[in-house]
C-alpha cells in the first residue's frame, strides 16, 4: 500500500469514527450516520481500501475507543444486539467499493447505487439475523424494529453518496 492509500484509508476510518457515535434513538437499533460514512468509504476508496477503513474503525471501537453508537466502544458492543450491524459494515463497504470500481470501469453510473443497495441489504441481513439470535425475536418483529424504520433514511444516504462521490474522487486525485 502506498502512503497516499494508507492516508486516505485512515482518513475514511476517522470519518466513520466521527459519524458512528452521532445517533438518534429509534428503538433497539439507533439511526446513525455511520452507514453513510461506510458507503462513502467504499465508493471513494474502492472495495479493498474501503473495507480496510471499516475494519480499522471496528478495531478502534473494539479496543474501547467510543466510536460506536451513542459514544460507546468495546468488544461487548460487537457482541451485543446491534453487533451484527457493525459486522455488516464490512460487506456493505466491500460491495459498495466493488460497485464503484465497476461503475467507473464500465462507464455505468447506475452500478454504484445498485451495489450500495445490495450492500445495505447484506448489512440488514447480517444485523437482523444477529439481532434475532440475541433477542429471540421472530423475523416479523425484527424487520419492524430493525429494517423498516431505516429504509427511507438509507435511501437518502445512498442517493447522497452517489451524488457526492464523483466530486470527492476528483478532489482526491488532485
Q: Which domains does the chain have, with CATH numbers?
A: 3-167 (1.10.1760.20)
Do 50 and 44 contact (CB within 8 A), yes or no?
yes
pTM of the model: 0.94
Q: What is the pLDDT of residue 144?
A: 95
For 119-129, what is each residue's pLDDT tens digit? 999 999 999 99
Residues forming beta bridges with residue 59, ordered by sequence position: none
CA dist 22 → 31, 36, 68, 69, 70 (Å):
8, 11, 9, 7, 7
What distance in Å separates the CA atoms of residue 81 and residue 72, rounded to the nearest whole number?
14
10 Å Cβ neighbour count for 121?
Answer: 16
CA dist 101 → 10, 43, 91, 108 (Å):
20, 8, 15, 10
Q: What is the pLDDT of residue 1?
A: 66
Q: What is the pLDDT of residue 27?
A: 79
DSSP classification of residue 163: H
- Residue by residue, pLDDT tens for the chain (174 residues) are 699 999 999 999 999 999 999 988 887 888 899 999 999 999 999 999 999 999 999 999 999 999 999 899 999 999 999 999 999 999 999 999 999 999 999 999 899 999 999 999 999 999 999 999 999 999 999 999 999 999 999 999 999 999 999 999 999 987
DSSP letters spanning 96-117: HHHHHHHHHHHT-TTHHHHHHH
Amino acid at each position: 500500500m502506498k502512503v497516499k492509500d494508507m492516508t486516505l484509508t485512515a482518513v475514511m476510518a476517522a470519518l466513520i469514527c466521527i459519524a458512528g457515535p452521532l445517533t438518534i434513538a429509534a428503538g433497539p437499533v439507533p439511526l446513525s450516520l455511520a452507514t453513510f460514512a461506510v458507503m462513502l468509504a467504499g465508493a471513494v476508496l474502492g472495495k479493498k481500501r474501503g473495507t480496510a477503513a471499516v475494519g480499522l474503525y471496528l478495531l478502534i471501537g473494539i479496543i474501547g475507543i467510543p466510536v460506536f453508537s451513542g459514544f460507546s466502544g468495546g468488544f461487548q458492543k460487537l457482541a451485543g444486539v446491534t453487533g451484527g450491524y457493525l459486522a455488516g459494515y464490512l460487506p456493505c463497504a466491500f460491495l459498495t467499493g466493488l460497485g464503484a470500481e465497476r461503475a467507473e470501469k464500465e462507464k455505468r453510473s447506475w452500478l454504484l447505487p445498485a451495489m450500495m443497495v445490495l450492500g445495505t441489504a447484506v448489512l440488514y441481513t447480517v444485523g437482523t439475523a444477529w439481532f434475532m439470535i440475541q433477542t429471540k425475536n421472530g423475523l416479523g418483529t425484527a424487520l419492524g424494529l430493525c429494517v423498516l424504520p431505516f429504509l427511507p433514511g438509507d435511501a437518502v444516504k445512498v442517493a447522497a453518496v452517489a451524488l457526492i462521490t464523483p466530486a470527492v474522487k476528483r478532489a482526491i486525485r488532485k
